Amino acid sequence: AQKVTQAQTEISVVEKEDVTLDCVYETRDTTYYLFWYKQPPSGELVFLIRRNSFDEQNEISGRYSWNFQKSTSSFNFTITASQVVDSAVYFCALREGGIKTGANNLFFGTGTRLTVIP
Amino acid sequence: NAGVMQNPRHLVRRRGQEARLRCSPMKGHSHVYWYRQLPEEGLKFMVYLQKENIIDESGMPKERFSAEFPKEGPSILRIQQVVRGDSAAYFCASSPTGTPADYGYTFGSGTRLTVV
């Protein structure tokens, strides 16, 4: 069965600090996709990144970076030099490959609430 | 390019009333997915539809909930005889095809249902 664990329920950092949000996943499929989303206080869901299981390259986008490690089933997200606007709930999600009942959807973790203190 | 449009943004219903939530997918997208987010929780899959077809409703409650995606018009998530436990944010996502490669990028802003 698929599972996504975000063990950090809430994190607070002071502005300009770096912060890493953890995501550990479980799946039996060899083909799968991992996602990160941001949900700001306004409530919408903002797509940040998608990674497929065949691509273990880490990615950097501005102050954001992602570390995908299949050996530990983790897909961690780091924000460098955090800003107040980064305050949000961040969700990690998994979609298994293939077309089968229950796989046509994203399975979300419970989210990590990040508060950046000015 | 308009994204996934959901309306209303906020909906208040009294217990026992019906709630209708609408989702217009992105232009060119014929696959729609509905998710529910209970307070302080992650999103949970409800149903996956193509035009005029329900493909996967494994996440839908067995009673009071239904969904459709007609040939013309938006997808509708319908909740009959709402109860307080239905209070949640309901999100819709769309994709051009049903293949995993196309999916996950685009969500609407959600409809926040409050049952009083």
Assigned token pair, A14: 């002071």
The number of C-beta contacts closer than 8 angstroms across A and B is 71
Q: How far is B74 from chain A (nearest CA, A)?
A: 19
Are the beta carbons of B67 and B47 closer than 8 angstroms? yes
Q: What is the DSSP letter of B26?
A: P
| DSSP 3-state of A37 | strand
Q: If you average pLDDT over residues B75-95, what whole number do you get?
A: 96
pLDDT tens track of chain A, all 118 residues? 789 999 999 999 999 999 999 999 999 888 899 999 999 998 889 999 999 898 888 888 899 999 999 999 999 999 999 999 999 999 999 988 765 555 567 899 999 999 999 9
Which stretches does DSSP call E strand in chain B?
A: 5-7, 10-13, 19-24, 31-37, 43-50, 53-56, 65-68, 75-79, 88-95, 111-115
pLDDT band at B90 (very low <50, low <70, confident <90, very high): very high
Using DSSP bridges, classify how beta strands B65-68 and B75-79 pair: parallel, antiparallel or unpaired: antiparallel
Amino acid code (one letter) for A113 = R
Nearest-Cα distance to chain B for A38, in Å, is 11
Would you call B107 an interface residue with chain A, using a CB distance cutoff of 8 Å?
yes
A45/B103 touch (CB, cutoff 8 Å), yes or no:
no
Contact B18, B79 (CB under 8 A): yes
Min Cα separation B34/chain A (Å): 9
Q: Are B116 and B12 in contact (CB under 8 A)?
A: yes
Please tell me the predicted confidence (pLDDT) of residue B28: 86
Neighbouring residues of A102: CB distance < 8 A, sequence distance ≥ 6: B56, B58
Distance, first Cα to last Cα, chain B: 36
Q: Give the mutation candidate from A32, A33, A45 for the B interface (greatest B CB count, under 10 A).
A: A45
Q: Sorting pLDDT into bands at 50, 70 and 90, what band is B105?
A: confident
SS3 B37: strand
Q: Is B109 on the interface with A (CB under 8 A)?
A: yes
Helix (H) or strand (E) holding B98: none
Q: Which residue of A has its CA nearest to B56?
A: A101
CA separation for the pair A114, B15 (Å, rounded)? 34
Give phi and psi for A71, each to the nearest 5.
Answer: -60, -30
pLDDT, residue A96, reads 84
Q: What is the pLDDT of residues B39-72, one digit of tens each?
A: 888 899 999 999 999 998 999 999 999 999 999 9
Q: Provide the pLDDT confidence category of residue B1 given band limits of 50, 70 and 90.
A: low
Smallest CA–CA distance from B92 into chain A, residue: A45
